[in-house]
Structure 1
């Protein structure tokens, strides 16, 4: 194993993450949402299993946003002029993000609402 090459891969990955934070509004929105959810999780006192679910959902959202941004860049590079298939590829990737975000919100509601229901009422 080439250790310096392996360590460089972390540098490249970090550059990618920093780039998406700087350039993608949706990623920043999900980052803010993740902070809010993590704070709510701390305040609510989730079980270990619920924490695992929340961490998987948050990290999954970040991953799919990174993949979406990657697809957008590759499509823009491969098809700088308007093309219907390029538009569809970008819309499909964005749709995957939306589906995951909706599913994550539903799971979050399933976890949080019963806990908050007892506090509120």
Structure 2
């Protein structure tokens, strides 16, 4: 049963499993409705694959995974902001609504830029060394 069928729930979750199912529904919704989340997922899979191939150290893995999850989390927060703003203002233009959406999108951009820098700092030297051999 997905969250569309659970519209009647008006109380707190009573079990961990119930909370987990709602979180899973949120991840599925992000993946199905947010094109950029799907692109970030593909980039993350590529980075992880390269990391496995290069046999990264524990420290490198921690930085790479931090960067990846910062992008995922910022994309989720951006989607939350967009959904709430759309719920509140509908199809009308509002300057504050635009500002909220723009700032949330800027958060994703900053996280993605950080991820690119981390990826380059960690992956590029190892790839360069392999190409030199």
Q: 4+ runs of 1 displaced by more than 3 Å? A: none
RMSD over aligned CA atoms reads 1.5
Query: Which shows bigger deviation, 11-20 or 54-63?
Result: 54-63
- Structure 2 partner of 1:74: 84
- Structure 2 partner of 1:88: 99
Q: TM-score, normalised by structure 1?
A: 0.93
CA distance in 1, matches of 2:25, 2:123: 34
* Unaligned runs of at least 5 residues, structure 2: 1-12
* Unaligned runs of at least 5 residues, structure 1: none
Q: Deviations over 1:60-118 (max 9, x none)?
A: 21111111100000000011111111111101100110011011101110111111111
Q: TM-score, normalised by structure 2?
A: 0.85
Larger relative helix fraction: 1
- Structure 2 partner of 1:109: 120
- Structure 2 partner of 1:47: 57
- Secondary structure of 2:49's partner? helix
- Secondary structure of 1:120's partner? helix
